[in-house]
Amino acid sequence: MTNKHMRQAKIKEIINTTDISSQEDLLQYLIKEGFETTQATLSRDLHEIGIIRIPHGDGFKYVFHQTDNPEALKNIIGMEIINVTHNESTVVVKTMPGRAQGVGIYLDKIRENHILGTVAGDDTIIIIPDSHDNIDILVEKIKSVMI
């Protein structure tokens, strides 16, 4: 088993047995288990495994993406989006603090989303559309997710 597969297996185990609220916390658990990794690698691992961060109590926690209940996930994502704006070439989505990456992953997975790519920070997502002609369609699709 490669180091990547062993690390991802450990991530799954930690997520299944512990409430993890941040990548920093997860990174500390991995270090305690002997896995030296970077935040960027951890972020890619979470995306590949299908782990997302959802509101939980007074904070957040990481869980496995629930593909069997897309409406529930859509509602959660919709609560995390604050605003959608655009200019002639780019769409910008403002989210609750700490939620841009999770929302970005969700938007990347929408079928026929007209998105070439997303770049997510802490509370802002920059979206590059597939065509300037599709910006209005993309903005309306994102706004339809908002609650």
Q: How many CB atoms lie within 10 A of CB 59?
A: 11
Least Cα distance to 101 among 118, 88, 114 occurs for: 118
CATH of residue 58: 1.10.10.10
Q: Are 51 and 65 in contact (CB under 8 A)?
A: yes
The two three-digit tokens of residue 121, written as one number: 């920070």
* Position 72 in a domain: no
Of the candidates 14, 36, 64, which is a domain's last residue?
64
Mean of pLDDT over the chain:
87
Residues 44 and 94 in one domain: no
Q: What is the pLDDT of residues 13-36, one digit of tens each?
A: 888 888 888 899 999 999 999 998
Give the C-alpha separation, 104 to 145, whole Å.
13
Confidence label for 71 from pLDDT (cuts 50, 70 and 90): low
* Position 88 in a domain: yes
Residues 84 and 140 in one domain: yes
pLDDT surpassing 60 at residue 67: no
Q: What is the pLDDT of residues 104-136, one digit of tens each?
A: 988 888 877 899 999 999 999 999 999 999 999
Tally of structural domains, the chain: 2
Give the C-alpha separation, 78 to 81, whole Å.
6
Q: Whole-model pTM above 0.85? A: no
The two three-digit tokens of residue 97, written as one number: 């603090």
Q: What is the pLDDT of residues 52-64, one digit of tens each?
A: 888 877 788 888 7
What DSSP designation does 22 have?
A: S
